Amino acid sequence: MFVFLMFQVVRLTDYFINHGVGLTLLTKMTIYISAAFLPVVLPISFLVATLVGFGRMSADSEIVAFKASGLSLLRMYLPIGLFSTAVAAVLCYLTFYFIPWGNLQFKSTLVKIGNTKVVSNIKEGTFTEGFFDLLIYADKVNLKENSLSGVFMYDERDNKNPMAVMARDGLLIPLKTDSDLAAATILKLNAGSIYRSDISRRYYEKIDFNEYRIMLRVEEGQVDEIKYAKTLGLDELRSQMKRYEGNAERYPEYAIEFWKRIALSMTPLMFGILGVGLGVVRMRSVKSNALFLAIGIVVVYWALHIFGTNLAESHRLSAFWALQIPNLIVLPFAVESFRRSSW
């Protein structure tokens, strides 16, 4: 999982730096992303574990000792078979319930971030745009005290009545909001003036003040209903398949996703047999060889999976048979490797 998440570091860092996403929300987004990797991570982990376990026993001649004492390879496979069934059941539940939920939450969070205006940090001696839709400038910025001096602010949120504000100093007072994505603060300005004009009424005015407080708030962006195949649970997926049955354009999208989840849920069963069959072969370096072997198997399996998906999407084969191609090819090879090891 760590290896897969490493490829997402840049993406998550961008949300943290450029979008002002807090650590709490960033942790949630990491969990949502992790959910999408589980159908790949769990089978790989299970295959590596099986190869390492049986590879170590084979390297230490424990497999020979077991067989010499009358214990067959089929009997040694029994715990692996039970465990692979449990992993397959967990993976089936995850693919139909938890992972669609994670995909939906991640997608909706991205939409909210896109709809939420970015709150930029005010930089000293620089005109800063994007600060609650304001243009703001400060001669000096004290980050520890959130204080400003020599402040100029231009507010054009009301196009008909733009105004400029100049103040000797100011203070930013952050406020707690009820959402991870919403932001609010009070900008307190001291000893300054407001310059504004009303174009429709053709007048210009200047207002001097000792203290001027502006409540600045950005609400969390609204999210319309986001529904696509990867975000649907089992019941919703079946409902969409039934709804679009006979529709050559819409039906394959949901059928492919349904049978893809079924096929991926069966991979631990295949990898359990394959891992035992290949694991009993003597290996000089058990862990490294097991890892490379597992990566090779997964690459081939995933290539077959992509091939089957393409066949289904191009309507050259039904979704059921197309998505079962990897399992139908791997299963005979797994059974044969197991049979050869059962001497």
The model's confidence at residue 221, banded by pLDDT at 50, 70 and 90, is: low
For the four alpha carbons of 270, 276, 281 and 287, in that order, the dihedral sign comes to positive
The larger pLDDT score, comparing residue 134 to residue 92, is at 92
Confidence of residue 90 (pLDDT cuts 50, 70, 90): very high
Nearest to residue 223, comparing CAs of 231, 213, 211?
231
Q: Which class for 330: exposed (0-12), middle (13-18), buried (19 or more C-beta within 10 A)?
A: buried
* 232-249 per-position pLDDT tens digit: 888 888 888 888 888 888
Confidence of residue 121 (pLDDT cuts 50, 70, 90): low
Is the pLDDT assigned to residue 225 strictly greater than 70?
no
Average pLDDT over residues 303-330: 90
Specify the higher pLDDT residue, 180 or 103: 103
Q: Where are the domains of the chain?
A: 2-114+226-341, 128-218
The pLDDT, as a whole number, for residue 177 is 61
User: Of the given ranges (109-123, 136-150, 307-321), which has the lowest mean pLDDT?
Assistant: 109-123
Mean pLDDT over 102-114 rounds to 75
Q: How confident is the model at residue 113 (pLDDT cuts 50, 70, 90)?
A: low
At 208, is the pLDDT very low, low, confident or very high (cuts 50, 70, 90)? very high
Q: Of 236, 182, 256, 190, which Cα lies nearest the Cα of 22?
A: 182
Distance CA 33, CA 25 (A): 12
| pLDDT of the residue at 87 | 92
Residue 18's pLDDT is 63
